[in-house]
Amino acid sequence: MLTRIDHIGIACRDLDATIEFYRATYGFEVFHTEVNEEQGVREAMLKINETSDGGASYLQLLEPTREDSAVGKWLAKNGEGVHHIAFGTADVDGDSEEIRGKGVRVLYEEPRIGSMGSRITFLHPKDCHGVLTELVTSAPVESPEH
C-alpha cells in the first residue's frame, strides 16, 4: 500500500521567486523542473530526502500557466499555499482501486502521467477530510534533470 509521503504540492504565483525562497531559507535545491501542458502548470520538484523504499520526498512548487487550470482556479480562490499531499505507492493502479472500493472517489478512471514520468491519480478532497490527495508511483530516477 502507501509507503511514504512522495511530495507536498504548493501553489504559487511566481515559481522563480518561490524557488528562491525555499533555496535561501531552507537550502533546498531544485531537483527537476517541467511544464505539464495537460494540467496547465509549470513546476519544480525540490528534493528533501531519500526514503527507505528507494524513493524520495519532495516539495512540488506549482505555478499555473493558465487561469483555467485546476491550480489556477485553486490559486484564485485560496491564494498561495498547500494544494495537495501525495503518497507514494508501488502500485497506483491497485491501490486506487482498493481505495475506490472503500467508497472514496478517485478522480481519474486510469492513472495519468505526472511529474518526472510518474503515474498518478487523485482522490476527491471531500472524501479525504478536505485534503486533495494524490497517489504516485514514481518512475525510476537515474539523475536530476533541469
101-120 pLDDT, tens per residue? 999 999 999 999 999 999 99
Q: What CATH number has the domain bearing residue 90? A: 3.10.180.10
Cβ proximity of 14 and 57 under 8 Å:
no
d(CA 6, CA 11): 16
The verdict on whether 43 is a catalytic residue reads yes
Kindly state whether residue 144 falls inside one of the protein's structural domains. Answer: no
The verdict on whether 84 is a catalytic residue reads yes
The verdict on whether 39 is a catalytic residue reads no
What is the span of the domain harbouring residue 84?
2-137
Model confidence, pTM = 0.90
pLDDT confidence of 56, banded at 50, 70, 90?
Answer: confident
The verdict on whether 124 is a catalytic residue reads no
Q: How many domains does the chain have?
A: 1
